[in-house]
Structure 1
Amino acid sequence: MDEANGAGQAGPLGQSRPIDVVSLYPKDMNIYGDWGNVLTIRRRLKLYGYEPRIHTYNQGDPWPEQVDMVLGGGGQDSGQEKISDDFFKRADTLRALVADDVPMLMICGMYQLFGEYFETIDGTRLDGIGVFGVYTEGREQRMIGNLVEHSDQFGDIIGYENHSGQTFLRDGVEPLGHVEGEGRGNNGEDGTEGARVHNVIGTYMHGSLLPKNPKISDFLIAAAATRRYGEFRPWQEEGQKAELARIDETAANARRVAASRPR
């Protein structure tokens, strides 16, 4: 289902500047507030003077003709199994978009499926599409709680992890960040959290992630705009600038509270 959110948003000289965003399997892969990432991108695109076009893609839906960004959320093992057949039908398309530098954010269950495989705790193996050089093993221990990690690009990233799958990076794979404090991250052993390749981010951070981390939101938006229009050029009236400043101040307050709370 496509949503014409922000239709008519005009840029310089009254020109519409659409950005087409695909929300991947929100019916089965959207728990722990991950839909908030879509809402955040939609709102910030409007405030930067772009026209957000949100395409919700579920099993059997037609694939959008234009894709500038892809957002995927977390889900239970059963949700991953439900989408598996359809997901592999779209695997070549997704890998081609990754190679073409389309920005993507994959949370938890979708992060696992973008890896090589996920072996559940009962020994069932769910193959991934190999975007990330990572693999995941189900374990008894559940890793849950507020999480702070540091990234050279984004500074401190703050979110909430809730997963029993433990993900391991192959040699040379870049993590999103390194865990600070009591967080567990990918596996609770090597201090890494998430993974990066091209303009794609995989992470275990729910919460949802983007409302509390504007730098990551703006990275995704800038990458999408630059790829489509050759540059990221915000076009804002004073009211839009003021609203964005209020949102960022609220995010800063939320970050401080989340970082101070015990796991």
Structure 2
Amino acid sequence: MSQVIDIVSLYPKDMNIYGDSGNVLTIQRRLALYGYEPRVHAYNQGDAWPEHVDMILGGGGQDTGQKKIIDDFFKRADLLRSLAAGGTPMLMICGLYQLFGEYFETVDGSRLDGIGVIGAYTVGQEVRMIGNLTEHSADFGDIIGYENHSGQTFLREGVQPLGTVDADSTGNNGEDHTEGARVNNVIGTYMHGSLLPKNPAIADFLIRTAAERRYGSFDPAAAGQTEAQRAELDRINTIASNARRVAMSRPR
């Protein structure tokens, strides 16, 4: 009997920019190569919530996208907070990273509340932080991506960043050299690119956590992984390693 992992792709119609859908494809492909059966649920506003959720992936979007989803997002706020507190692995990129925080205050002073999963707040600014970026993480090594955001995000005291950046005017806010955040098994980040194809360590953290929570362990052999699947995973990891090296050499 196959071991299913249920993945929610959160608001893919409106929160999917700069290649963020590639994160869903990467999780789907790697799960299959580990021997699991990935089941992706595309959840858009007004849809029925899936019966079982092992992982949630959300992307970025323009301001118009955030406005389209916000009413439905708040209807699901208690559920999302409960899943996050319970340890469900999640990856939230850019716009949804901001909405998982406390609030976003725009340049004109209007305020868009978040759901408070991540102890952070965001303030709009006129200048965008945009370009290739490498950040450093104790848990995942160097993380490679591409940031494009005008909001400055500040973490509350005690909130762990995903990583640190070397240069000023990059990362969460351009000032404190942090990027992203981690709370329980929730990761928030400004890294587009998309993130997971070039950072298999993060993809595997999400996969391992989801499998352990559902089945008690992460065990590709028990899930039915074949030699051919293992070889294909090794090939993909080599491609990712080469892509990382190229991306790190690019100018900002």
Name the CA distance, whole Å, in 2 between partners of 1:102 and 1:224: 7
The correspondence of residues 165-184 of structure 1 with structure 2, limited to 5 A, is 165-181=151-167, 184=170
Q: Mind listing any 5+ residue stretches in structure 1 that lack a counterpart?
A: 1-14
Which residue number in structure 2 is paired with residue 64 of structure 1?
50
Name the CA distance, whole Å, in 2 between partners of 1:98 and 1:170: 18
Q: Say if 1:146 and 1:183, in contact at 8 Å, map to a contact too.
A: no
Which residue number in structure 1 is paired with residue 29 of structure 2?
43
Letter in 2 for 1:245: D
Which residue number in structure 1 is paired with residue 113 of structure 2?
127
Q: Say if 1:81 and 1:126, in contact at 8 Å, map to a contact too.
A: no
Which residue number in structure 2 is paired with residue 11 of structure 1?
none
Letter in 2 for 1:252: S
**How far has the Cα of 1:124 moved from its partner?**
1.9
**How far has the Cα of 1:52 moved from its partner?**
0.3
- The yes-or-no answer on 1:242 pairing with 2:228 is no
- The yes-or-no answer on 1:100 pairing with 2:86 is yes
Counterpart secondary structure, 1:223:
helix
Which residue number in structure 2 is paired with residue 252 of structure 1?
241
Counterpart secondary structure, 1:205:
coil
Q: Say if 2:18 and 2:193, in contact at 8 Å, map to a contact too.
A: yes
Name the CA distance, whole Å, in 2 between partners of 1:180 and 1:54: 36
Name the CA distance, whole Å, in 2 between partners of 1:34 and 1:63: 21
Letter in 2 for 1:207: G
Task: Choose 119-128 or 36-45, whichever is displaced more.
Answer: 119-128
Which one has more relative contact order, counting CA pairs under 8 Å at least 6 apart? 2
How many residues get paired?
Answer: 249
1:62-92 alpha-carbon deviations (Å, 9 max, x no partner) = 0001000000000011111111110000000
The correspondence of residues 82-97 of structure 1 with structure 2, limited to 5 A, is 82-97=68-83
Q: Mind listing any 5+ residue stretches in structure 2 that lack a counterpart?
A: none
Structure 1 segments (4+ residues) deviating >6 Å: none
Counterpart secondary structure, 1:82:
helix
Q: Say if 1:117 and 1:128, in contact at 8 Å, map to a contact too.
A: yes
Sequence identity (%): 76
TM-score for both structures, normalised by structure 1? 0.93
| Change over 3 Å in CA distance of 1:183–1:139 after alignment to 2 | closer
Name the CA distance, whole Å, in 1 between partners of 2:233 and 2:113: 40
Which residue number in structure 2 is paired with residue 21 of structure 1?
7
Of 204, 210, 215, the residue aligned with 2:196 is 210
Which residue number in structure 2 is paired with residue 6 of structure 1?
none
